[in-house]
A and B are shown apart, each in its own frame.
Chain A
Amino acid sequence: MHKLSISELAQGLRSKQFSSVELTQSFLARISQHQALNCFVTVTEGQALQQAKAADLRLASGQATLLTGIPLAQKDIFCTDGIKTSCGSKMLDNFIAPYNATVVENLNQAGAILLGKLNMDEFAMGSSNETSYYGAVKNPWDLTAVPGGSSGGSAAAVAAGLAVCATGTDTGGSIRQPASHCGITGLKPTYGRVSRYGMIAYASSLDQGGPMARSAEDAAILLQTMAGFDSKDSTSVDRPVPDYQAALGNSLAGLKIGLPKEFFGEGLHPEVAAAITDAVKQYQNLGAQVEDISIPNLSLAIPAYYVIAPAECSANLSRFDGVRYGYRCQNPEDLADLYTRSRGEGFGKEVKRRILMGTYALSAGYYDAYYIKAQKIRRLISEDFKKALSQVDVIMGPVAPTPAFGIGEMIDDPIAMYLSDIYTIAINLAGLPAMSVPAGFVNGKPIGLQIIGDYFAEERLLNVAHQYQQVTDWHLYVPKGFE
């Protein structure tokens, strides 16, 4: 059952081939069998079975949605009422969220089953899942490799068939890069498309939640329920949500694809480049035209991002002070000691590094030189993409310069790890939607093709990905040991 698509599962539930309770039990059994992957921080078994019983009743009453009775899992960054929401941090190891994120609420309303909460880099800061307080997640394709991050638990769980699909969040590539490394389909929507209410903030002007699934079709179904205007999120964009499935079948004849030369330069693994080139050829066979384009300021994305994201992180994470919730140090001497030690003991190394960087960039005398300067560079990058997207319909390139690296291989060199985000972070700075779609293997590890579209072009991206998945089977491969 863990290899069926959402549509096939919905069909099976309706024709009573299996019940939601049976389906949920089979996923819970797989989760228990594959605990060594370390995908889950919390498994909500009892609640999942209750939800499944309710879903079976709803299915019988004819009031079901496509997601009713479908077992999925939430990245542990989304607040879940009454359920531990750790954000991968010791700081929130004891935090039982008192309310639901809008994304969680939407999926509950649709009747989806919550299997549990997924491991992630601490406060979504990391590209390997190694910064989690709960330890690294393993990549199902190679147990010695990282799954990517920060939504590494989500990507590994979907790839290993421990959940039908999962939610993720993407601040600098945190949906696309793990999707690429684990061979699944992930979509970072346009900034403002999915509500951030109840999604623990890292860098507020960049964070965006999105679907992670085994196919573009499944991602379309999940996004349909996740997306929409939310008055509780002041940066949510008030714009109707199109029917994402309706456009999946559209022909790609005449589609204009732009290949930015900056995405194929130095540092790109030659076999990754070859896989991307092959994927682009497939698109030409489907009737697309290819043009060379340029994003001249791409290389400035890393410096701009590593000012803006830490600056916003240092402001956002100042709320964790040991007073109202979360970790508090033992026997504080005074209030200053309470703050300093609770934060010092509650946060891990990478989070501290970014708080320090952000505090510095925002401190008196440096604000204009760093934060304002980075925001200006951000506009230049955004203008580059606007110009490119006035010439072509979508932009394609790699997601990451290499396949998944080994656990422990890069953890001591944070700067090298930051540099590996080059193809993803510029898209967050511009606020554009982008996907990772499985496009081959290098040394037995999956490679993702990145597809970038114009603002609110999720429909087009899903269509472009779906058509590719009709003529290729990269997304159908299952890692050995998880068949």
Chain B
Amino acid sequence: MLLNGTSIYNGYSFGKAFILKEKKIKINKNIININDIEKEVNCFINSYNKTLKQLKKIKNLSSNSKDRKLLFEGYILILKDDTLKEDIINLIKKKLFSADFAVYSIIKKQIKYISNVKNLYIKERANDLLDISKRLIYNIKNIKLIDLNFIDIKESKIIIISKDLSPSQIIQFNLNKISGFIIEKGSITSHSSIVSKSMELVSMLGVKKATKYIKNNDNIIIDSINNLIYINPKKKDLDKLNKKYNIFLKEKKDLIKLKKLSAITYDGYKIKLLSNISNNKDIDSIFKYGSEGVGLYRTEFLFMDRNNFPDENEQFVSYKKIIKSMINKTVTIRTVDLGGDKFLPYMKFPKENVPFLGWRSIRIYKDRKDILRTQLRAIFRASIYGKVRVLFPMIISMEEVYFIKDQINKVKFNLNKNNISYDNNIKIGAMIETPSAAIISSNLADEMDFFSIGTNDLTQFVLAVDRNNLKVSNLYNPLSPSVLSLIKYTINSVHEKNKKIGMCGELASDLKSIRLLLGLGLDELSMNVSFIPNVKKIIRSSYMFSCKRLVDKILNKKTLNEVISILDKNNK
């Protein structure tokens, strides 16, 4: 039997199913008899003491996991809180609640405060409190909790099947015995997803009715590359999967081996492979996949999901963290790209008919110089910790370039005046994502140090196609002859002025197009880090002269279909 869902970490996982299903508990919401008060209070106190004892035992067993130890210490602190026990007993005595209903009500009240916070991570915190209340209620009702340490299980490869996972469950797991998760609920930001990724556990989320179809001890294989789960596979399938698994392992090894090698063609042409990041969580994978630096750090995420602008110091701390952890690899910070489809709850945006052609990015800076200057000051201050470049979005004119340079000079003047040090040779660059910037790229190259082509916006603007509009999105393609010829023109103009130009849009990680991009002469490609090994592999198996020939052939074609068919043939 087969099931499917969303895969979190690519690969294969083999193991025995362990269904994590907790008994539904019915809370007794009826009012108790006055004569039973003492009995009910005692019942609670017994459960309270028993729960404390259990938590202390787990805490002491957790010497191998600091996180687990600290979590249970926290649970104990919460239980021992001055008012918690008293409040619960008061509910039993004064409102005649049953012991379980009293626990439930008090914890629910606490959770209500947290639920008002608009933050996914914090909301998951409610699970800690729920876990504590569950422990108390289970003990009141004398029900045994599932032991997530799996002390009694000999099987060393367990695949956990569950409706959902809370962080406190995950932290209690003995991960040495787990080889994957299959979860019915769960989003990419959920804890199960984060843990699977960081532990490199092959897992699937959003698998509907998994706990219904899978039984305890079923043999399970997760093939997350094809988004499939096999339940008790037949021998034929098993052999096939084993073969696939071995090939996968070998390929993975080969790709990781590439990490230390540079992206160089057979005939010695080098190109830089950088990564696009949004926050400092992406840093670890940069080193793992052998990226040569950050080609695009989107700073928007620093500004979102909050209620006010991040101040200079806050930004400084974030930039410094990333720059320092990159250890002298280039970090390209793009100043905040607001408007279009990115709005902030704490900033007023005008109602516009076409926001993508409206008040956005650099146009906002002109009216709100404070936003730009605060960010620049933070970046400049952080620049002494490594190699930093600053990239400006949505440029359309030389006036804008002069404006930016003027602002930079003012920021530098101010820093000098206050004796604050910064890297005086910081490079500044422009995104090429409007037709206008591409057309005047030669002039831009007189003033700017480097460029990055944003293919997503550039394609939309050159073709006048909104790619989110299903009626016309089939017309959107960065390989269209008009877009390619403008890209070629831009690269040539910039190179004539001896400046560097890269690409950071989706095209830069389109495996079929890599040889075309090489041939066009780009100096850098910046992409989501997971693409880097595959892109590198293609580059290391190419000849520059044949890539140039490919470009000549493609630029001579008049239709998109011809371009696509040449690329298809080239990649066979």
Chains A and B belong together in one complex: no
